[in-house]
Amino acid sequence: MDRMTGDGGIRQRQTTAARAKGGLLVLGLFVVLLFIIELVNMGMLRSLNRTFGLRPRSADGLLDIFTFPLLHANLNHLLSNSLPLIIFGFLVFLSGLRVFLTALAFSWLGSGLVVWLIGDGGITVGSSGLVFGLFSFLLVRGFINRSWRQILLAVVLFMGYGSILLGILPIVAGYVSWQAHLGGAAGGVLAALLLRPREGQPRRVS
């Protein structure tokens, strides 16, 4: 009994370490890709934003849903999104690649769809919708999963970053897309609901 428990603990630590390495690699490569695109965009005088930025309520804009988070208004815009994207994405990735991809996809699509539906008419770019989606996923999944470890993490994250949730309100500055933030956050919550353990399934505590 003790030997099996010890072996299981070793395997769990190895799995967590592998996920941590994988998360750093995936998030690091994604952010590097964003910087490469930003440099290309700068060299093209921001023409990528005009072509692939999200235009609300236009037929072509539906395709822009898949490209607009990869573009940014300027380098400072990208820098402000990069660190929280790495932090939140890494924490989600610790629960596995499937969980990460699901949360990312719902955040991406939720952000884009809300901007397309109720955007103010300008061109929207930026990955902040992904940041809000991953953050909201981390905030609510512990309560949905009834995992005290995840709830504790949510409390710590809320204390450190909770103020960013003001970004989902229409009162934010006009150049900030609260629609993208709101849609991303909603997508993160939906992902947490979709990934909740079914009856009879073991509950994960990672």
Domain coordinates of the chain in residue numbers?
2-194
Q: Quote the pLDDT of residue 52.
A: 96
The burial of 175, by beta-carbon neighbours within 10 Å (0-12 exposed, 13-18 middle, 19 or more buried), is given as: exposed
Asked if 104 contacts 133 with a C-beta cutoff of 8 angstroms, the reply is yes
61-109 per-position pLDDT tens digit: 899 999 999 999 999 999 999 999 999 999 999 999 999 999 999 999 9
SS3 content of the chain, % helix, strand, coil (to 5): 75, 0, 25
- Quick one: pLDDT band at residue 29, thresholds 50, 70, 90? very high
Cross-strand partners of 54: 124
* Measured CA angle at 168 (ends 143, 172), to 5 deg: 150
The tokens of 61 are what?
């804009």
Q: What kind of fold does domain 2-194 have according to CATH?
A: Rhomboid-like fold (1.20.1540)
pLDDT for 198: 76
Question: Taking the CA atoms of the chain, what radius of gyration do you get in angstroms?
Answer: 18
Q: How confident is the model at residue 48 (pLDDT cuts 50, 70, 90)?
A: very high
Instruction: Specify the pTM.
Output: 0.89
In 3D space, the residue among 173, 109, 106 whose CA is nearest the CA of residue 140 turns out to be 106
Tokens standing for residue 102: 């699901």
Q: State the Cα–Cα distance between residues 32 and 15, nearest whole angstrom.
A: 25
Number of neighbours of residue 45 by Cβ within 10 angstroms: 9
Question: What is the rounded distance in angstroms from the CA atom of residue 134 to the CA atom of residue 188?
Answer: 6
**Mean of the pLDDT values across residues 126-144?**
97
The pLDDT confidence band at residue 4, using thresholds 50, 70 and 90, is very low
Residue 2's pLDDT is what? 41
